[in-house]
């Protein structure tokens, strides 16, 4: 059974490996009942697409074909897109270009760094 939120990990800011942080977030969101797609693991070269795509089961089923050539078309405006960063890192130029090109007005990417306030914001947004 999904949980409403996952408490902030005690060692969050001590994490220095982005892959470990991504795993922590993916596990937490799945505990909350989200279908989480880790874009790089699933599709390889992501060309600026955010790290995670999070959907309710209904949103995921409505998306249909997830072929590489349709990835951006399928994801924009559905679910929640999340970009994960380790403290000290920034959103890259390629990620900014992707957002400028593909995100319609009103659709955002949630940028989350490994700090308690970002974790709490993410949990508040992702609670159902």
Please tell me what DSSP assigns to residue 105: T
pLDDT in the model for residue 127: 87
What was the pLDDT predicted at 67?
Answer: 56
Whose tokens are 């659709």? That residue is 107
Q: What pLDDT score does 2 carry?
A: 65
pLDDT band at 69 (very low <50, low <70, confident <90, very high): low
CB distance 98 to 49 below 8 Å: yes
Q: How confident is the model at residue 1 (pLDDT cuts 50, 70, 90)?
A: low
Instruction: Encode 20-57 in three state secondary structure.
Output: HHHHHHHHHHHHCCCEEEEHHHHHCCCCCCCCEEEECH
Domain boundaries, the chain: 12-126
CATH architecture designation of domain 12-126: 3-Layer(aba) Sandwich (3.40)
DSSP H or E segment with residue 75:
helix 71-75
Higher pLDDT, 86 or 127: 86
Phi/psi-derived region of residue 17, left when phi > 0, alpha when psi is between -120 and 50, beta in every other case: beta
Residue 3 has pLDDT above 80, yes or no: no
**Average pLDDT value for the chain:** 84
22-67: pLDDT as tens digits: 999 999 999 999 989 888 877 776 678 888 988 887 777 776 665 5
């Amino acid at each position: 059974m999904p949980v409403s939120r996952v408490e902030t990990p005690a060692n969050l800011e001590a994490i220095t490996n982005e892959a470990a942080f991504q795993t922590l977030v993916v596990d937490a969101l799945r505990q909350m009942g989200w279908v989480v797609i880790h874009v790089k693991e699933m599709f390889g070269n992501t060309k600026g697409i955010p790290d995670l795509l999070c959907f309710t089961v209904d949103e995921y089923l409505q998306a249909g074909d997830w072929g590489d050539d349709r990835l951006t078309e399928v994801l924009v405006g559905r679910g929640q897109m999340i970009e994960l960063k380790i403290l000290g890192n920034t959103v890259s130029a390629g990620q900014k270009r992707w957002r400028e090109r593909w995100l319609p007005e009103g659709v955002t990417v949630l940028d989350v760094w490994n700090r308690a306030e970002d974790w709490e914001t993410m949990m508040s947004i992702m609670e159902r």
